[in-house]
Structure 1
Amino acid sequence: MKTKILNILSILLGLMLVNGGLDKFLHYMPMPENLPDELIKDMVALAEITWLMPLIGFAEIIGGLFIIIKKTRVLGILVVFPVMVGALLTHIFVAPSGLPILLIIWAILVWNIIEYKTTYLSLLK
């Protein structure tokens, strides 16, 4: 039962990541109107580095697809982990309003890491 719940949550997480990554290329989701000024400044600064947002979007798409497929889930988590650290730091220091949903996403990531800890530990040997 626990494994089924984790699989369903992981598939949903993967789909969310693929959606977020595709939006970085296709811009189909509207931007919220009540963004903090500091976050807008950060986003403008990131837009100056023209290759960065496509790289993040590509990592989200590839990592999300890997997370959806159970055999590649461990690799997918490694791919999206740096992106998720950046998102967590952004929401802690700049835009705390998005923190609750991000903490749920982090809970799914950490649950996966704990579930596959022997695989991750074998990578360090």
Structure 2
Amino acid sequence: MKNKILLVLTILFGLMMVNSGLNKFFNYMPMPEDMPEETMKIFGAFMTIKWLMPLIALGEIVGGVLIAIPKTRALGAIVIFPIMVGIVVHHLTHDPAGVVIGLILFLINIWVIIEEKNRYMHMIK
């Protein structure tokens, strides 16, 4: 039962990450109107660094696809982990309204890492 729940959560997690990454390339989801001004300034600064958002988008897409596939889930969890840390830290410091979904996704990512820990042990030894 736990494996089925994890499978469903990782597929949804992966789809959310892929969607977020594709949106950074194609801008098909409108930005919220009530975004704090500080957050708008931060995104404006990110846009001045031309390579940053495409790199994050690529990481989200690759990590999302990898985490959704059970065989590559361990690699996907590691690929997406730094992006999830950035999302949670951003929401904790600049936009607390979105921190709940960020923390939920972060906890799913941590759960996958814990479940797949045997695949990481050979790198630590």
The TM-score range, normalised by the shorter chain, is: over 0.9
What is the Cα deviation at residue 109 of structure 1?
0.7
What is the Cα deviation at residue 121 of structure 1?
2.2
Q: Normalising by structure 1, what TM-score?
A: 0.97
2:100 aligns with 100
Q: Structure 2 counterpart of 1:22, which letter? A: L
Instruction: Give the whole-Å Cα distance in 2 for the aligned partners of 1:114 and 1:76.
Output: 13
2:14 aligns with 14
The answer for unaligned runs of 5 or more in structure 2 is none
Give a deviation string over 1:4-37, Cα, whole Å, max 9, x none: 0000000000000000000000100000011111
CA RMSD, 1 decimal? 0.8
Instruction: Give the whole-Å Cα distance in 1 for the aligned partners of 2:109 and 2:122.
Output: 19
Contact residue 78 and residue 113 of structure 2 kept, 8 A = no
The answer for unaligned runs of 5 or more in structure 1 is none
Give a deviation string over 1:14-71, Cα, whole Å, max 9, x none: 0000000000001000000111111111111110000100010000001000011111
Contact residue 85 and residue 106 of structure 2 kept, 8 A = no
SS state of the match for residue 97, structure 1? helix
Instruction: Give the whole-Å Cα distance in 1 for the aligned partners of 2:83 and 2:65.
Output: 15
2:77 aligns with 77
1:68 aligns with 68
Instruction: Give the whole-Å Cα distance in 1 for the aligned partners of 2:75 and 2:110.
Output: 14
2:122 aligns with 122
2:51 aligns with 51
Structure 1 moving runs of 4+ over 3 Å: none
Instruction: Give the whole-Å Cα distance in 1 for the aligned partners of 2:122 and 2:10.
Output: 22
Instruction: Give the whole-Å Cα distance in 1 for the aligned partners of 2:22 and 2:32.
Output: 17
Instruction: Give the whole-Å Cα distance in 1 for the aligned partners of 2:28 and 2:123.
Output: 38
Instruction: Give the whole-Å Cα distance in 2 for the aligned partners of 1:105 and 1:83.
Output: 11
Give the % identical residues. 52
Instruction: Give the whole-Å Cα distance in 2 for the aligned partners of 1:117 and 1:77.
Output: 11
What is the Cα deviation at residue 91 of structure 1?
0.2
Q: Normalising by structure 2, what TM-score?
A: 0.97
1:35 aligns with 35
